Amino acid sequence: MGQHRSRMLTVQQFRSLYGEEEQCWAQLSRQRWPEGFRCPRCSGPSRGYMVARRVHECMVCSYQSSVTAGTIFHKTRTPLSSWFWAIYRMSQDKKGISAVQLSKEIGVSYPTAWLMQHKIRKAMADRNQFYTLGGLVEVDEGYVGGGEPGPGRKGRNVDKAVVAVAVEHIAPGESGSPPVPGFAALAVLPNAASRSLDSFLKSRIAAGSHVLTDGWHGYWHVEKNGFQHTAIALTRQGQPAHKLFPWVHITLANLKRFLLGTHHQVENKHLPRYVAEFNYRLNRRTMEQDLLTRLLRASLATSTITYKQLTAAPELT
């Protein structure tokens, strides 16, 4: 018999656990300090909890600290119950949720919902960096977003961004069975040149892994970076790319459907966080029951990002 798969948290369960503001504060405290408060300055214990201000005072140095300090919730004026709902929606549904829809569901303005989501995506992106792929890893890159060709616009990839995708091949354990996809890594790159691809591979794939690519010249010195490498020239194989590299093509196709179906259009400067959101859920597709608490812990381990930072013009390089 196969192992029973845990069910995702239902809406009814969510409301029972996190429907009240005090429940949310208590849950954050449990996740941040599972063994009790520890001062972020000196690691001292709590002298006492000030209910009105929701802060602990350190017994050793008298520093006063909130459970939200230094996290994505830092100085938020939005109720934690609304934050928990946003985290629930973004962690549970593989399609995600648009800022327009979230703003309606929690009763905040569109800019507030948009900012909340980008803060959560930052937590997802930071946590993604803990995942390193290994074994046999299928790698390719594709174009995402951008405009369509028109008068004065040449080429099918006008204004599109390059997204690199790597997917592990995992043997299912049954003789003769085809491999199944393991963890994936996705990243928005400035281009598909070897320098950009090398940086992606070295940051997301363990040294010594076997990297499987097509014949694109950007991968010409993969072996020099400490990997085994098999390059398959598509023109010589007589098979389409999606047959030779099935998992990266399925992943790219699902990413495009997520971006188009849920968000319709994403600015290239914000695309890395949307890609990180997709990647985060993809790698936790078998962890349904723990998705909300996992993302809460990630949110507590990540510093905030401001609206000004998100909307600032990119620096010229």
* Percentages (nearest 5) of helix, strand, coil residues in the chain: 40, 15, 40
Supply the pLDDT for residue 120. Answer: 98
Confidence of residue 71 (pLDDT cuts 50, 70, 90): very high
- Contact residues for 230 (Cβ-Cβ < 8 A; gap 6+): 210, 211, 212, 213
User: How many CB atoms within 10 Å of residue 55?
Assistant: 17
Q: Residue 111 carries which DSSP code?
A: H
Strand partners, 58: 46
Q: Taking the model in full, what pTM does it have? A: 0.89
Contact predicate 90/97, CB 8 Å: yes
Our CA dihedral for 255, 184, 90, 315, rounded to 10 degrees, sits at: -70
Quick one: residue 77, left, alpha or beta (phi over 0 = left, psi -120 to 50 = alpha)?
A: alpha
Supply the pLDDT for residue 146. Answer: 64
Contact predicate 204/187, CB 8 Å: yes
User: How many CB atoms within 10 Å of residue 276?
Assistant: 22
The 10s digit of each residue's pLDDT in 74-118 is 999 999 999 999 999 999 888 999 999 999 999 999 999 999 999
Domains plus CATH for the chain? 136-282 (3.30.420.10)
The 10s digit of each residue's pLDDT in 11-52 is 999 999 999 999 999 999 999 999 999 998 999 999 998 988
Quick one: residue 7, left, alpha or beta (phi over 0 = left, psi -120 to 50 = alpha)?
A: beta
Q: Residue 167 carries which DSSP code?
A: E
Q: Residue 263 carries which DSSP code?
A: I
Supply the pLDDT for residue 145. Answer: 79
| Highest mean pLDDT (candidates 85-89, 142-146, 148-152) | 85-89
Supply the pLDDT for residue 51. Answer: 87
